[in-house]
């Protein structure tokens, strides 16, 4: 028996995936061996990272339902593909379900090192579907799109990149990253990357006023000039890729991991 990280009840613990299980299944089917970058381990991960502090009721109930929504969202938006070749993304979404899912995924990741885990505590009822969505001056959600990497920009592109491009001349693989963002005294910045889609959670400290939160959101959007803010008032958005490619995001990590760790050998 253990105290569940979500419902806080003393129940038998089960194993909950940090990165949703459907993503592992997808990559196995597409013959990819690496899911993404593990911020805590400081390397590209191959195994299925799990945590063991979630009861069976939460794991198989509301959390499983959120993963089902996440799979549906990524599938119907065209993101759950081996190579995303478009330079735009149209995302139709249910804001409450999407925010709950992103918070759940990020909270699971945060508990592996404990750095940001406490700030999620007040949002657990919402993650479980027992409370309304927090206002934007408590949690804001931004979305931007990584641009494809052009093979012509490489004198000798790795064979795996050539294979991934499948004759298109561009690559934008489905990798996953859950990490920290920009440091700030007013908010915690969490980043969740699914393929080319870069979701940013801006989790403000309790004392931050709505006007200050709005100013911070505008500043972050300026850094990602083609990014957009998601909200309940906008059930669909269209976002265009900026100049930052997926290799700009993962290049330093792949280099640190070494050729033996990365799948872009």
pLDDT digits (tens, 9 = 90+) for 190-244: 999 999 999 999 999 999 999 999 999 999 998 866 799 999 999 999 999 988 8
The rounded distance, in Å, linking the Cα atoms of 7 and 158 is 47
The rounded distance, in Å, linking the Cα atoms of 39 and 177 is 8
Any idea which of 10-14, 37-41, 146-150, 201-205 has the lowest mean pLDDT?
37-41
The rounded distance, in Å, linking the Cα atoms of 185 and 173 is 34
38 or 196, higher pLDDT: 196
Instruction: Categorize the per-residue pLDDT at 251 as very low, low, confident or very high, splitting at 50, 70 and 90.
Output: low
29 or 192, higher pLDDT: 192
pTM: 0.89
pLDDT at 264 over 80: no
Q: What is the pLDDT of residue 254?
A: 55
The rounded distance, in Å, linking the Cα atoms of 258 and 246 is 18
Read off the pLDDT of each residue in 82-107 and give the average, rounded to a whole number.
Answer: 96
pLDDT at 265 over 80: no
The rounded distance, in Å, linking the Cα atoms of 110 and 178 is 9
Alpha helices in the chain (DSSP H): 21-29, 56-60, 62-76, 95-110, 117-120, 124-127, 159-165, 210-223, 246-257
pLDDT digits (tens, 9 = 90+) for 170-188: 999 998 888 888 889 999 9
Cβ pair 16, 50 in contact under 8 A = yes
Read off the pLDDT of each residue in 76-101 and give the average, rounded to a whole number.
Answer: 96
| Residues 189, 35, 14: CA angle, nearest 5 degrees | 80
Read off the pLDDT of each residue in 141-170 and give the average, rounded to a whole number.
Answer: 90
pLDDT at 71 over 70: yes
Q: What is the pLDDT of residue 197?
A: 96
Cβ pair 203, 138 in contact under 8 A = yes
The torsion angles phi and psi of 105, rounded to 5 degrees, stand at -60, -45
Within 8 A by CB and 6+ apart from 231, the residues are 95, 136, 141
In percent, the amount of the chain with pLDDT more than 70 equals 87
Mean per-residue pLDDT of the chain: 87
Read off the pLDDT of each residue in 25-40 and give the average, rounded to a whole number.
Answer: 63
Q: What is the pLDDT of residue 155?
A: 83
Highest mean pLDDT among 122-131, 181-190, 242-251: 122-131
Q: What is the pLDDT of residue 77?
A: 97
Instruction: Categorize the per-residue pLDDT at 156 as very low, low, confident or very high, splitting at 50, 70 and 90.
Output: confident
Q: What is the pLDDT of residue 141?
A: 97
Instruction: Categorize the per-residue pLDDT at 143 as very low, low, confident or very high, splitting at 50, 70 and 90.
Output: very high
The rounded distance, in Å, linking the Cα atoms of 256 and 252 is 6
Cβ pair 52, 15 in contact under 8 A = yes
């Amino acid at each position: 028996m253990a105290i569940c990280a979500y419902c806080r009840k003393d129940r038998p613990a089960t194993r909950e995936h940090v990165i949703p299980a459907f993503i592992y299944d997808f990559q196995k089917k597409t013959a990819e061996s690496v899911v993404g970058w593990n911020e805590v381990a400081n390397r590209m991960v191959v195994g299925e990272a799990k945590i063991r502090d979630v009861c069976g009721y939460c794991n198989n109930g509301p959390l499983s339902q959120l993963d089902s929504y996440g799979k549906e969202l990524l599938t119907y938006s065209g993101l759950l593909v081996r190579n995303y070749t478009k330079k735009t993304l149209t995302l139709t979404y249910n804001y409450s379900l999407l925010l709950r899912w992103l918070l759940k995924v990020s909270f699971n990741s945060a508990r592996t090192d404990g750095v940001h885990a406490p700030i999620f505590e007040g949002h657990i009822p919402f993650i479980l579907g027992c409370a309304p969505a927090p206002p934007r001056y408590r949690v804001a959600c931004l979305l931007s799109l990584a641009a494809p990497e052009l093979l012509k920009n490489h004198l000798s592109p790795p064979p795996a990149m050539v294979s991934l491009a499948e004759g298109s001349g561009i690559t934008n693989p489905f990798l996953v990253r859950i990490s920290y963002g920009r440091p700030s005294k007013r908010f915690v910045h969490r980043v969740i990357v699914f393929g080319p889609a870069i979701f940013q959670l801006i989790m403000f400290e309790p004392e931050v006023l709505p006007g200050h939160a709005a100013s911070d959101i505008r500043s972050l959007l300026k850094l990602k000039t083609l990014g957009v803010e998601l909200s309940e008032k906008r059930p669909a958005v269209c976002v265009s890729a900026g100049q930052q490619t997926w290799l700009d995001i993962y290049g330093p990590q792949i280099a640190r991991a070494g050729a033996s760790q990365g799948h872009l050998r």
